Chain A
C-alpha cells in the first residue's frame, strides 16, 4: 500500500490549549478518506498543518513520501486545498478566480480557460460565472473553491468541511466530481462531522478526538458491524442520552 499522506507526531498548541497532540494520520493513495471528529477535535488544525498554512510545533508531514515543510516545491504542486471558512477573493468573479489560480499555478492561459470552462459547467456555475464571489451563496462558494482546488489536477486533495451548508443538489454534484476524481487513482481527504455522508462516500476513515487519532482504517473495519455513527460515538466516548433535565421542554401549552 503506498501512502498518499502520512503524519508523524504532529503537534500544535495555541498558548495553553493543545489543539493537536501527536497526530499520526495515514491515508493510502487512491482512497476517498474521511477525517471525522467532534467540534474542537483538531481536524482543521491538522489539515492546515498538512497543507502548509499553519506551522506545526512538532512532527512530520509527508505527501507521497516528500516532506511537506522541508520540500514544499514537490509538495505544493501536487496538492489541492479547500480550507474552512470559504475564504476566497471576494471581488473577483467565479471565472476570474479560476483564471487567477490557473495563472498562479503556471498553467498556460488557453489551457486554463479550457479547464475553467469545463469545471464551471460541471459545477453548474456557468450562468453565474461573471458574478462576484461576494454575491455567491454558500453552495456556490464551496463549488467554486473546489473547482479552484482541482484546476491543476493535484494528486491529493484536502477539503475542510466541503459539504457544510451546501444544498443537496450542490452536495451531490460535489460528491460526483470527487468520486470521478478518486476513481482515477487520486486521493481525497476531507473533514466532516456528518457520519452518514462519510459512511456513504469514504472507503477510509480516520477518527479524531481531543487532538489525537483514536481509530483509522478501511471504513468497514472501523465500523466493525455497527453504523459509522454508533462506532464514532463509542470511539469519542460520548455519554448521556440527554434525558436528564429539560422536563419543561415539549408538549407546549402556549
Chain B
C-alpha cells in the first residue's frame, strides 16, 4: 500500500511535467530552487564546523526550528494543490486507517521539498556533531527530526482540513500568504534600522528554540552525552505521540461531514452605496470597493500596497543623514501612488469569467469608458486618503512644508498610471487566478502579459511624471500642483481612446480574462 501512495505522488509530480509550458516552467523552477535550498542548507549547517561549537549549535538550532516552521506553514499554503494532503479525497477507497496513515506519510516524504530539507538537515551532523557520540546521535536524530517534521505537518493539515476546504478558510489562508511574504521582509527591515543582531541575539534566540522538537535534536548532537540521548528519545516519543494524534484526527476527518458545502453568512448591506453616482460609473465603483474588501485578491493587493508604503516611510527616515532633500519627502508618496494605481493595469482581470455580464450590456464606447472610470474612481476612493496619510507621515519625518506637494504628486501619478493602464487593460489583459500564488499573478501561459502590463505601466507612469518631477526636484516645488492636472487629464484622454479599442476587442478580452487557472 505504501508503494501505491509513493507511486501516486510520483505520478502527480510527473503530471506537472506533462502540462503546459507555464506549469513545466513552474516545476523546473521548484526543482532548481529545491536543489539550491538543499545545497545551501547543507553548506550552512556543515560549514560552522570551522567556528566555535556553541555558535555552530545555536545556528543549527535556529535553522532546524525554521525547517519545522516551514513544514507546518508550507502544506497549509499548498492545500488544494497537493491532492495527497486532503484526506477527504481518499475517504471512499477501501483502506484501513493504518494503511492510509502509512501511505500518506510515505507520500509526503516524496517530492522535491522533502528531499531537499532532509539533505540540508544532514549537514548538521558534520557541522554540529563534534564527538563520536554526537555524530552517532546525529545519524539517529536527523531522520527522527525529519519524521517529526512530516508528522507534525500532517497533523496540522489533517486537523484543519475541514476548515481549509470551506470557502472562508481558504479566504483566510489566501490572505495569510501575504503575511508570509511580509514576514520575510522583517529581518531586512531590522537590519536596515540598525538594530544590532549580534552573537548575543543569536544565543538568546537559540536558547528558546532549543526546546522545539527539532531544536532538541541539534542540541543533542552538540551535547553528545546522556542528556543528548535523553533528548533524542524525547523527540522520538513526541513524534510517535503526534503520529497517534494524527491517526485519530485522520479517522475523524474521514467521517466528518464536508464543511465546504456549508454556506457563509449574510453580508452587510452597503450604507454608502447611495452616495455614489447612479449609472455605470457608480455601479462599477461600488462593485470594485466590495471586491477590495471581500475578495482575497483585493485584500492581498491593498495589504501589499500598504506594506510598500510603510516600508517606504520607514526607509526614508533611516536614510536621512543630514539635511533632508526634496526627493526624500516626495519619493515615498510618489511610489505609493504608482503602486496603488498598478491595479488599474489589468482592470478587467478581477472580474474574470464574470465580465460577460458587463459585455452583454455595453453597446457603445461611452459605456466601457464609464466602466473604466468607475474602476479608477474606486482605487482613488481608497488610495487618496491613504496617500494623504503617507504624505503627512513623510512630511513630519522630513519637512512639513512638503506634505501638500507630495500628496499632489502621489495623487497625480495615479492618474498617469491609469492612463497607461487603460491601454494595457484592453490590449494585454490576463486572467488573475482566484488562488493566489507567490510566484505568478497570471494564468499559466500569461506570465508574459502580466509582466509586460505591470512593468510597462510602472515605467510609463514613471516617465510621464518626469516633466513635473524634474522641476520639483530642482526646487520649484509649486510645479507639483500640475501633477494631478497632467495625470487626470491624460487618464481622461486615455479612457476615451481605450474604450473604443476595448469595445472592439471585447470578445478577445473576455477570452483573455477567463482562462482556466
Contact = CB atoms under 8 A, between A and B. Distances in A.
A51 B506 CA distance: 12
A93 B361 contact: no
Contacts of A53: 356, 359-360, 507, 510
**A: contact size bracket:** 35 or more
B354 A132 contact: no
Contacts of A87: 352-354, 356, 514
Interface of A: 51-55, 72-73, 75-77, 79, 81, 83, 85, 87-93, 95-96, 99-101, 103-106, 108-109, 128, 130-132, 134-137, 148
Contact of A89 (B270, B278, B287): B287
Given A105-B361, A135-B167, A93 B267 contact: yes
Nearest to A149: B360
Nearest to B362: A76
Classify the secondary structure of B's interface with A. helix
Contact of A135 (B263, B356, B367): B263
B184 interface: no
B264 A52 contact: no
Nearest to A54: B507
Interface string B260-273: 00011111011001
Nearest to A49: B507
Interface residues of B, number: 41
Interface of B: 167, 263-267, 269-270, 273-274, 278-280, 282-284, 286-287, 290-291, 294-295, 351-354, 356-364, 367, 506-508, 510, 514
Contacts of A91: 290-291, 294-295
A140 to B, nearest CB: 9
Contacts, number: 97
A30 B171 CA distance: 45
A55 B508 contact: yes
Nearest to B371: A104
Contacts of B266: 93, 130-131
Given A131-B264, A131-B265, 10 more contacts: A52-B359, A52-B360, A76-B360, A88-B357, A91-B290, A93-B266, A95-B269, A100-B283, A106-B279, A134-B264
Nearest to A108: B278
Contacts of A106: 279
Contacts of A105: 361
Contacts of B263: 128, 131, 135-137
A90 B508 contact: no
B266 to A, nearest CB: 4
Contact of A85 (B270, B274, B353, B362): B353
Among B279, B284, B287, the most chain A Cβ lie within 10 Å of the Cβ of B287
